[in-house]
A and B are shown apart, each in its own frame.
Chain A
Amino acid sequence: MPLAYDPLIRLQGVTRIFHTEEVETHALSRIDLEIRAGEYVAVCGPSGCGKTSLLSILGLLDSPSEGSYVLAGEPVSTLSAGQRARVRARAIGFVFQAFNLIGDLTVYQNVELPLRYRGLGPAERRAAAHEALERVGLLHRLHHYPAQLSGGQQQRVAVARAVAGKPLVILADEPTGNLDSANGAAVMALLAELHAGGATLVVVTHDPRYLREAQRSIYLFDGRVVPAARRDREVA
């Protein structure tokens, strides 16, 4: 994992406003945030506080309405949709709450899909996908379809897909939300293992057990990052 950029992610004054039928909604307001390479950051907050909006901007699925976003030294807040897609393919790995595997593709095909979009050749894709699946313990399920796997297995495939391209950062949105506690713990252990190996992780979670595993927690409320003292008040 490259450590040359410090911080790896820098958000300054990031605001995201949605306009719907003359109503202006501030999903994020003047967010300043830095994440260092190799850091494990947990994002938490009540429902509707802007967690997913923040993750979408960090993952370049969305652009801020105001403010700047620098990823690995490169300003990315004003990139076009095509340029964002290219950066996403190279630098971001996603793990979703609903696994979001593609039902028509096999386990192997799901894992190698982002590598295709990155433009890697067949041999490279094969090696990287095999390595990722071996890491999550599902190499023996290469040719299965998602519907043939349990929920826990599907999320492990999703993790393999996220790490196969060795992205700069892995963004996980409630990765245990659809799992029972045993499978949830197994997935979080897997993410912790990845972090131990040097991966940069940003995990949205509600579960206090997993908040504690993170090196740092960011609490969002009404689209703003809330300082620790105020957070305690809000929670109380």
Chain B
Amino acid sequence: MDTLLRDLRFAVRQLRRTPAFAVAAIGCLALGIGANTAIFSAVDGVLLRPLPFPESERLVTVWGYHASIGRESASLPDFLDWRRDSRSFTGMTARANTQFNLTGAGEPEVVRGALVTANYFQVLGSPIPLGRGFRDDEERRGAARVAVLSHGFWRREFGGSADAVGRQIMLGGVPYTIVGVGARGLSVPREVDVWTPLTTDTTLGRRNDFLEVVGRLAPGVDMSQAREELGTVARRLEQEYPGSNSGWGVDLVGLQERIVGEIRPALLVFMGAVGLVLLIACANVANLMLARVAAREREVTIRAALGASRRRLLRQLLTESVVLSLAGGALGLGLAVWGVRALQALEPGTIPRVDEIAVNGSALAFALGLSVLTGLLFGVAPAVRLMGYDLRGGLAEGGRGAAGRRSAGRTRSLLVLAEVALAGVLLVGAALLLTSFVRLQRVDPGFTPGGILTARVTLPRARYDDPARQTAFADALLERARSLPGVRSAALTSDAPLGDGPPYWAFAVAGVEPPPPEVVQDAVVFRTTPDYFRTFAIPLVDGRLYQTSDRGDAAPVALVSEALARRYWPDRTPLGARITFGDPADSTSVWMTVVGVVGDVRQEGPAAAAYPQIYVPLAQVSGRSLLIALRTSGDPLALTPALKRAIAGIDPSLAVGRVATMDERVAGALARPRVNALLLGGFAVTALVLAALGIYGVIAYGVAQRTRELGIRMALGARSDDVLRLVLRQGMAPVLAGLALGLGGAAVGSRVLRGLLFGVGGTDPVTYAGVAGFLAAVALLASYLPARRAALADPVAALRND
């Protein structure tokens, strides 16, 4: 213990004596350890830490599954059958996301709601800390209207007062009694303000899929057993309801996987990236340590001569390494705290559970472990050098007349090679993601987003259940919106591109044999007013657009997108064809005539191909949830107050929600690739700077070590150019080898990026050539500066150097 303390004191004293070395080494390590701790905190908070529910690993999401469309939400009848007939779960619950107009307390407000079955809170295992949850009888039609508030909403709207329970709130113009307040952190997988009971004794179609189902596995039952049991139930439903359930099975996904599964690949890529940054930092510090060991050879020789064993010397050296890395780790921890805060502040909502990311005990343990490991890692090279050091040679060396030692630079060259290889891997990854992002930005979405303002209005059922009232509201709103200053065109629509996910409706074509049950024939369906196409600048390709005369009393019409026309009428015009969303065999189904073809729109973002789409007039298929879109000649957001006044002028109880420009929606669709490119780009730049500093340091140190040799060469007739070339050639040799290794490694490693790339292959030759050229240029510059200094050195002074 005493020896360890003495070693520690000596290590600290040594570092104080060489402050430039200490600052450089601690800075490198702080960057590497800080980045690793920050990303570990994110991985821990998002991927590793269980959800805030007891035995959350037993919570699974249950999905309908169809071979041709994959996983799908569940319909209410299917959910009820699954729940009734399965024994693998202690409970199964369903939720449907919705929005409410909150009125009665100042300006109407849109709040995020969820309709849930009565056992929702029990299944999640989250008791209601204030008040109660829902009773079974509250699922029934006509039951008293009750609500449970989220913890955040309760704090915001009621100041956290316990008196809130028992009070009433107006949701959609209807009074609801607050019966409870949910626990903090209950709002997963998405933020919710208010829960209300889902009415389960209602008649809904089996392909009206809108429910997210969560089950809690019974003790001793695993996911595959539950999947098998529900599969049996699904096969029975196929037989009982062939018209709706043919081809439909069931799939299960863990709840945590459902929430964080999409972000996992990106987070793991980032974890790998910061690992590479740390290795580069280690290589840099190892190089600095090597230089320091070389400068301390005489000291080591004297210690050895005085009786210190190699083991003793080795321990002293490793103690110094670990002291350095602990100092770097402490500083890195500060950087990690700052990095996590920056991530939470700048993250545009693409990372789930982002609020749960914290530099906590796990992160501290990680940073400490990483610091010790790092210290041992970068201490190895100098230690190996020390172990191989010929102490007798060291004493005799002063008398030798040869400049330079063959083995001295080899280890440093290997470290440079490793640094360049690692930086190359990171740069290629960042360049691929950046290229993907640029290509995504260049994708034509099929409409012109600039200058469009959108806002959502939900008409409460209590007063707008009648389609005529819905149409009257739509007409009044359009009229007022068009007269707002700066509005060039206005439209109403059920949905807009780049929303929460477009609605897919099954349809049939008259005179065409319906597809077999295992094939779902569906399309994205928007209900819009005629000016929708002008407002979004979606081109008419064939036929005509629908007009204001295409109202409820006129013949039903529809427009189809080019993708849909190509798929179903590949060799003829679709104009005049008839389609229905109902059962073609049912005589009451409404048939619509296709009157026009419009351009394709990428509804789900630039990365997803345009899905076949059908547009129908809102006047013929009305609805209560409306999105208003205004194309403006100025700043679209400046119109928000005027739009809200226009809506309040028609119905002051209506809230205006989700106000956003289409540019913001486009930016939102690109947020994740942008964050990916920015984060990996940031790590790659850090790696590049560290590698460049490493190369500069090694060459500069090498030049300093070889001053006399270079002086001899000049005495023998070498010109400045010869010296410059010599230093550059020797400096660039490990760089070029590292570059080759790095690009090879990137080609292998780019496989993990495959899911994050768009429009560019993992082995895109242009990207690789660009990175190679750029990295070589940076390395050349880093080598050139010390090489030039060597070339301009005074040979007399160089020869005098000893």
Interface residues of A (CB under 8 A from B): 56, 59, 61-62, 81-82, 85-86, 88-90, 92, 94, 96, 98-104, 113-114, 117-118, 145-147, 151, 154-155, 158, 161, 178
B717 with A100: CB separation less than 8 A = no
Nearest-Cβ distance from residue A7 to partner chain B, whole angstroms: 23
Most buried by A among B400, B716, B717, B795: B717
B401 with A88: CB separation less than 8 A = no
B717 with A117: CB separation less than 8 A = yes
Contact for B799 among A89, A96, A99, CB less than 8 A: A96
A interface footprint on B705-732 (CB within 8 Å = 1, 0 otherwise): 0001100111111111110000000000
A-B contact pairs, 26 of them (CB 8 A): A61-B714, A61-B796, A61-B799, A81-B719, A82-B721, A85-B714, A85-B720, A85-B722, A89-B718, A96-B401, A99-B401, A100-B401, A100-B712, A101-B402, A101-B403, A101-B712, A102-B713, A103-B404, A104-B709, A117-B713, A117-B716, A117-B722, A118-B717, A146-B401, A151-B399, A155-B401
A88 with B717: CB separation less than 8 A = yes
Measured CA separation A92–B400 after assembly (Å):
24
B405 CB within 8 Å of chain A:
yes
B401 with A113: CB separation less than 8 A = no
B442 CB within 8 Å of chain A:
no
Q: Do A102 and B796 contact each other (CB < 8 Å), given the known contacts A59-B715, A82-B719, A88-B717?
A: no
Contact for B713 among A56, A82, A113, A178, CB less than 8 A: A113
B406 CB within 8 Å of chain A:
yes
Q: Do A94 and B401 contact each other (CB < 8 Å), given the known contacts A100-B708, A100-B799, A103-B406?
A: no
Q: Do A114 and B717 contact each other (CB < 8 Å), given the known contacts A102-B404, A151-B401?
A: yes
A103 with B399: CB separation less than 8 A = no
B403 with A145: CB separation less than 8 A = no
Nearest-Cβ distance from residue B407 to partner chain A, whole angstroms: 10
Contact for B403 among A56, A81, A102, A118, CB less than 8 A: A102
Contact for A94 among B405, B716, B718, B719, CB less than 8 A: B716
A-B complex: 8 closest residue pairs judged by Cβ atoms: A89-B717, A99-B401, A117-B717, A103-B402, A146-B402, A114-B716, A103-B404, A85-B719
B795 with A113: CB separation less than 8 A = no
B799 with A154: CB separation less than 8 A = no
Chain A residue nearest to B400 (CB atoms) is A147
A82 with B720: CB separation less than 8 A = yes
Query: Which chain B positions have C-beta within 8 A of A59?
Result: 715
Query: Which chain A positions have C-beta within 8 A of B716?
Result: 88-89, 94, 113-114, 117, 161
Query: Which chain B positions have C-beta within 8 A of A90?
Result: 717
Query: Which chain B positions have C-beta within 8 A of A61?
Result: 714-715, 795-796, 799
Measured CA separation A101–B791 after assembly (Å):
19
Query: Which chain A positions have C-beta within 8 A of B720?
Result: 81-82, 85
Query: Which chain A positions have C-beta within 8 A of B708?
Result: 100
Measured CA separation A18–B340 after assembly (Å):
58
A145 with B406: CB separation less than 8 A = yes
Chain A residue nearest to B712 (CB atoms) is A100
Query: Which chain A positions have C-beta within 8 A of B795?
Result: 61
A interface footprint on B372-415 (CB within 8 Å = 1, 0 otherwise): 00000000000000000000000000011111111000000000
B405 with A85: CB separation less than 8 A = no
A56 with B796: CB separation less than 8 A = yes
Query: Which chain A positions have C-beta within 8 A of B718?
Result: 85, 89, 117
Query: Which chain A positions have C-beta within 8 A of B722?
Result: 85, 117
Measured CA separation A236–B665 after assembly (Å):
98
Chain A residue nearest to B798 (CB atoms) is A61
Measured CA separation A154–B795 after assembly (Å):
21
Beyond A96-B712, A117-B713, A154-B401, 15 extra complex contacts between A and B, CB < 8 Å: A61-B714, A62-B796, A85-B722, A86-B717, A96-B401, A101-B403, A102-B404, A102-B712, A103-B403, A103-B405, A104-B404, A104-B405, A113-B716, A114-B716, A117-B717
Query: Which chain B positions have C-beta within 8 A of A86?
Result: 717, 719
Nearest-Cβ distance from residue A163 to partner chain B, whole angstroms: 12
Interface residues of B (CB under 8 A from A): 399-406, 708-709, 712-722, 795-796, 799, 802
Measured CA separation A23–B342 after assembly (Å):
56
Chain B residue nearest to A62 (CB atoms) is B796
Q: Do A178 and B715 contact each other (CB < 8 Å), given the known contacts A61-B796, A100-B799, A103-B406?
A: no
Measured CA separation A59–B715 after assembly (Å):
8
Measured CA separation A72–B242 after assembly (Å):
110
Query: Which chain B positions have C-beta within 8 A of A101?
Result: 401-403, 712
Query: Which chain B positions have C-beta within 8 A of A113?
Result: 713, 716
Most buried by B among A86, A113, A118: A113
Query: Which chain B positions have C-beta within 8 A of A100?
Result: 401, 403, 708, 712, 715, 799
Nearest-Cβ distance from residue B391 to partner chain A, whole angstroms: 16
Measured CA separation A113–B796 after assembly (Å):
19
Measured CA separation A154–B403 after assembly (Å):
12
Query: Which chain A positions have C-beta within 8 A of B721?
Result: 82
Chain A residue nearest to B795 (CB atoms) is A61
Nearest-Cβ distance from residue A90 to partner chain B, whole angstroms: 7
Query: Which chain A positions have C-beta within 8 A of B401?
Result: 96, 98-101, 146, 151, 154-155, 158, 178
Query: Which chain A positions have C-beta within 8 A of B717?
Result: 85-86, 88-90, 92, 114, 117-118
Query: Which chain A positions have C-beta within 8 A of B403?
Result: 100-103
Query: Which chain B positions have C-beta within 8 A of A89?
Result: 716-718
Measured CA separation A166–B709 after assembly (Å):
22
Chain B residue nearest to A119 (CB atoms) is B717
Nearest-Cβ distance from residue A100 to partner chain B, whole angstroms: 5
Query: Which chain B positions have C-beta within 8 A of A161?
Result: 716
Measured CA separation A146–B400 after assembly (Å):
9
Chain B residue nearest to A179 (CB atoms) is B401
Contact for A104 among B406, B714, B715, B799, CB less than 8 A: B406
Contact for B719 among A102, A103, A117, CB less than 8 A: A117
B715 with A88: CB separation less than 8 A = yes
Nearest-Cβ distance from residue B369 to partner chain A, whole angstroms: 41
Measured CA separation A85–B716 after assembly (Å):
8
Nearest-Cβ distance from residue A211 to partner chain B, whole angstroms: 24
Query: Which chain A positions have C-beta within 8 A of B713?
Result: 102, 113, 117
Chain A residue nearest to B401 (CB atoms) is A99
Query: Which chain A positions have C-beta within 8 A of B714?
Result: 61, 85
Nearest-Cβ distance from residue B719 to partner chain A, whole angstroms: 4
Measured CA separation A102–B713 after assembly (Å):
9
Nearest-Cβ distance from residue B704 to partner chain A, whole angstroms: 16
Query: Which chain B positions have C-beta within 8 A of A178?
Result: 399, 401
Query: Which chain B positions have C-beta within 8 A of A117?
Result: 713, 716-719, 722
Chain A residue nearest to B800 (CB atoms) is A52
Measured CA separation A21–B405 after assembly (Å):
35
Measured CA separation A46–B401 after assembly (Å):
24
Nearest-Cβ distance from residue B581 to partner chain A, whole angstroms: 82
Most buried by B among A86, A92, A117, A145: A117
B715 with A99: CB separation less than 8 A = no
Measured CA separation A19–B533 after assembly (Å):
83
Chain A residue nearest to B404 (CB atoms) is A103
Measured CA separation A55–B715 after assembly (Å):
12
Measured CA separation A81–B721 after assembly (Å):
11
Query: Which chain A positions have C-beta within 8 A of B399?
Result: 151, 178
Chain B residue nearest to A101 (CB atoms) is B402
Query: Which chain B positions have C-beta within 8 A of A145?
Result: 402, 406
Measured CA separation A114–B719 after assembly (Å):
11
Nearest-Cβ distance from residue A46 to partner chain B, whole angstroms: 18
Measured CA separation A158–B715 after assembly (Å):
12
Nearest-Cβ distance from residue A129 to partner chain B, whole angstroms: 13
Chain B residue nearest to A117 (CB atoms) is B717
B719 with A99: CB separation less than 8 A = no
Query: Which chain B positions have C-beta within 8 A of A94?
Result: 715-716
Measured CA separation A178–B716 after assembly (Å):
21
Chain B residue nearest to A88 (CB atoms) is B717
Measured CA separation A104–B717 after assembly (Å):
18
Measured CA separation A86–B406 after assembly (Å):
28
Measured CA separation A145–B709 after assembly (Å):
15
Nearest-Cβ distance from residue A99 to partner chain B, whole angstroms: 3
Measured CA separation A139–B467 after assembly (Å):
108
